[in-house]
Structure 1
């Protein structure tokens, strides 16, 4: 089925009003994109920030009258539309188009992340079956890749871990497949807990191998390794809690941190840990260390 789309260049203050106008006039979807290469790297909790310059795309059925629809959008917007243009959207098999963007990812000597619709390139290695979903963590982001790469280099046999901010569960699942005895998944988002449980089942892990909890209900006994791929601000705030979760001589792996934020995060943990050299991929870093007290 062919489609028509209208693209409009606007500013942050007008974006919500323009989005409502498109939806009210029959748009089947509305997409907002950065229109000035302005990254938003660490929004605050509960925030949904927008860029200063925004490109809005509204998708419509191909049988609409674009002139009439433009007039309707203008009336709903209640002022002259910003710079805009209509385009015909090529008809494609969008499911296959989306799937074509994901490929197996090698995260070290042993570890692969594989979409479920593709055969693992190296079936004898440790393969994590993981499809993109609502929860963060598919291996494509540098922070996840850095943590997976670190896990690949560890001896995890019979260890007990906590994956704090588990998202999709990818780190905990990888740890279990690399030999860990048990991983506790913790996240503030109930959707992430569901995703973790579903992905653990998809990877044929034992039913009780990775129990999941919201933070208030999570166990607090110290474990061998604590993984936390979150963001720099929460990592610094959680330093007392995550430090207490790590047993003496245990290890911690922290990511979701920009290179410019590494010193501040390390300072929050410095009283309890001796650090390894910081690993970096693009502008993101991974901090690992061993607990000394």
Structure 2
């Protein structure tokens, strides 16, 4: 399906009014490129810093981008957009350059554009994450390769919380361990556990998209017989006797998981938690110790904390 990408170069004062015009005429939301953003520190919702490309921003004013179906009524709609934007001057709203630029884009371009930026990454001494569409040769016999297509599920493996979880698994997992992965995401920790020697992994996630993504990635890594993944709310109704429970989720959810982890662990089993911000570290430690866990190790990467506790 072809779409029209419309870019309106206008002033900061006209930004809100122009955005409203575009939305009222059928745009499903707008993207605003404001050069002021270039001087602000950017963090995504999970804490990762990212950089903006200055070449995509106007020298003055703002760019407002919107997308419309490329159909027979587009020429008429484009004229309406121009007329309504020009009319703003009668309300003493300066329009700046007031330039409209259009180009045709294909829907599949949006679906695949992000793949350009997901490349093989060595994230620990042993693990390398490789996009499923990339060809990659091991650099050493000991290197462990996880092939991943994250799809719509969170997790390309490069986030600090995932790296902390992988390093903890490298330290405590022993051959033939049974592992439970709570909040599987795209399946990275489940796959890693098998590659480290786990005899079987049971993965759970409340999000059906994450479950499907993990199943796909499990199969890409030819581990259909080693990983069982199901949709479930944490460990409610689960009764296993595992050597390790690993969970890379938020601190507040970890608190709800502690009882289930305890009940599903063997004596001396390990509970690996990650996704904990510094401000909530002590809260999680206190809850683990109150349950009876012994804190074995606390690791930190940037502002993220991982805790290894033992039953």
Does 98-107 or 202-211 show the bigger shift?
202-211
Between the aligned partners of 1:206 and 1:288, the Cα distance in structure 2 is 28
Structure 1 residues 259 and 8, CA, compared in 2 at 3 Å: closer, same or farther?
farther
Instruction: Provide the residue aligned with 1:188 in structure 2.
Output: 206
Segments of 5+ residues of structure 1 without an aligned counterpart are 43-54
Between the aligned partners of 2:94 and 2:206, the Cα distance in structure 1 is 39
Between the aligned partners of 1:86 and 1:243, the Cα distance in structure 2 is 62
Instruction: Provide the residue aligned with 1:116 in structure 2.
Output: 132
Between the aligned partners of 2:11 and 2:202, the Cα distance in structure 1 is 45
Instruction: Provide the residue aligned with 1:52 in structure 2.
Output: none
Instruction: Provide the residue aligned with 1:27 in structure 2.
Output: 27
Structure 1 residues 83 and 144, CA, compared in 2 at 3 Å: closer, same or farther?
farther
Pair 1:278-2:298 in alignment: yes
Instruction: Provide the residue aligned with 1:45 in structure 2.
Output: none
Q: Deviation at 1:90?
A: 7.8
Instruction: Provide the residue aligned with 2:60 in structure 1.
Output: none
Between the aligned partners of 2:22 and 2:120, the Cα distance in structure 1 is 37
State TM-score, norm by structure 2: 0.71
Q: Deviation at 1:41?
A: 4.8
Structure 1 residues 275 and 27, CA, compared in 2 at 3 Å: closer, same or farther?
same
The structure with the larger Rg is: 2
In the alignment, which of 77, 92, 99 is matched to residue 115 of structure 2? Answer: 99
Between the aligned partners of 1:41 and 1:166, the Cα distance in structure 2 is 19
Instruction: Provide the residue aligned with 1:246 in structure 2.
Output: 265
Does 108-117 or 79-88 show the bigger shift?
79-88
Pair 1:140-2:148 in alignment: no
Between the aligned partners of 1:80 and 1:164, the Cα distance in structure 2 is 57
Preserved contact between residue 22 and residue 73 of structure 1 (Cα < 8 Å): no
Instruction: Provide the residue aligned with 1:58 in structure 2.
Output: 66
Instruction: Provide the residue aligned with 2:5 in structure 1.
Output: 3
Between the aligned partners of 1:228 and 1:243, the Cα distance in structure 2 is 13
Preserved contact between residue 295 and residue 309 of structure 2 (Cα < 8 Å): yes
Q: Deviation at 1:173?
A: 1.0
Structure 1 residues 276 and 80, CA, compared in 2 at 3 Å: closer, same or farther?
farther
Q: Deviation at 1:83?
A: 8.7
Deviations 1:52-98 (A, max 9, x none): xxx974234797576632556899xxx99999976647888666742
Does 106-115 or 59-68 show the bigger shift?
59-68
Segments of 5+ residues of structure 2 without an aligned counterpart are 47-62
Instruction: Provide the residue aligned with 1:232 in structure 2.
Output: 251
Instruction: Provide the residue aligned with 1:48 in structure 2.
Output: none
State TM-score, norm by structure 1: 0.75
Between the aligned partners of 1:208 and 1:7, the Cα distance in structure 2 is 54
Deviations 1:5-54 (A, max 9, x none): 348999xxxx9x99886455243664589967686858xxxxxxxxxxxx
Between the aligned partners of 2:81 and 2:201, the Cα distance in structure 1 is 54
Structure 1 residues 176 and 129, CA, compared in 2 at 3 Å: closer, same or farther?
same
Structure 1 residues 26 and 8, CA, compared in 2 at 3 Å: closer, same or farther?
farther
Q: Deviation at 1:252?
A: 1.0
Preserved contact between residue 31 and residue 57 of structure 1 (Cα < 8 Å): yes
